[in-house]
Structure 1
Amino acid sequence: MHELGLLTGVVGAVAGAAGGREVAAVGLRVGARSGVVVEALHAAWPLAAAGGCCAGARLVVEELGAAVWCPACAAEREIDEYFALTCPVCGFPTADLRRGREFEVAWVDIRSTS
């Protein structure tokens, strides 16, 4: 499960940003064509977060759709995560994936010290 490795990197980045403060929640944005399994992220989170500033923090994952640019339609078109890289409207083949590969920390909720 490479999701544990990804989350280890996320926890490291969040720890640096938190500056030793306790983290309440972490929000991730994950694209449909990123190769990341959201259920595996949730399963691996307690292990990745254990023992540091993220221990006990909630993981919130926003799943993002995928889209390609169709030169025939001159438009960005939403595609299904399993859809081939073709325009779903006209069928024109395209490898211009505009959205769907994202894996990023969107936000961090740091607990108040007071």
Structure 2
Amino acid sequence: MTLMHELSLLAGVVDTVLDAAQGRRVSAIGLLVGARSGVLVDALTQAWPIASAHTPLEGVTLDIETQAATVFCPHCAKEVDIDEYFALTCPVCATPTADLRKGHEFSISWVDVEANE
């Protein structure tokens, strides 16, 4: 398993969180990772200690929530869940669709920081 892609993503997370924290201590970070984002959750978990090493975020808990992938089906007129083998058709009625609504996310959901006094 290669960690380079996830390591570079986490380097951006470290920079963004440190900018947002403005010198306050961070205790935990939440990420949202979509099932079709191309990001491997196991690789993120393995890369986090490397990405955060020698920074104020070293030892901070990384909480990763995964987002299932969905597409909008114009025939069913609703969002439907898809799996990793999605073939550009609605899994319910087989109508062609590529309207990905969820599952492409990679974002910082939340950051726990100490309050200013």
TM-score (norm 2): 0.91
In structure 2, what is the equivalent of residue 22 of structure 1?
Answer: 25
1:66-112 deviation per Cα after TM superposition (whole angstroms, max 9, x unaligned): 00011111111111133223211101121100110000000011246
Q: Give secondary structure in 2 for the equivalent of 1:10.
A: helix
Q: Give secondary structure in 2 for the equivalent of 1:39.
A: helix
Which sections of structure 1, spanning at least 5 residues, go unmatched? none
Percentage of matched positions with identical amino acids: 59
Q: Does 1:54 align with 2:57?
A: yes
d(CA) in 1 for partners of 2:45 and 2:101? 26
TM-score (norm 1): 0.93
What is the number of residues matched between the two proteins? 114
Q: Give secondary structure in 1 for the equivalent of 2:38.
A: coil
In structure 1, what is the equivalent of residue 88 of structure 2?
Answer: 85
How far the C-alpha of 1:113 sits from its partner, in A, is 7.8
Tell me the C-alpha RMSD between the 2 structures. 1.5
Whether the 8 Å CA contact 1:68–1:85 is kept in 2: the answer is no
Greater Cα shift, 10-19 or 20-29: 20-29
Q: Does 1:108 align with 2:93?
A: no
